[in-house]
Amino acid sequence: MKSTPDPCDMRWVSSTYSDGQGGQCIQWAPDHACATGEFLVRDSKKPSGPRLSLSREGFASLVEFAKHHG
């Protein structure tokens, strides 16, 4: 059984594509991604809220989307 660490114990990093004003900000957990291959993304305004779990390819697609639609 795979166990995912408590999101409060992870280091979360704000996306460079976020607006920087505290409004629209997503965060991801790079250390977790490096260790497990699972890319977790969350809303910075709701740190204990739901998280999106992406594959490496899915995360890369999200970043590409943000580059072109941010």
Is 55 within a domain?
yes
Average pLDDT, the chain: 83
Is 54 within a domain?
yes
Is 19 within a domain?
no
Is 2 within a domain?
no
Tokens of 53: 């779990």
pLDDT digits over 44-68, tens only? 889 899 999 999 999 999 889 888 8
Number of structural domains (the chain) is: 1
Domain assignment of residue 35, given as a range: 25-69
Residue 43 has pLDDT above 60, yes or no: yes
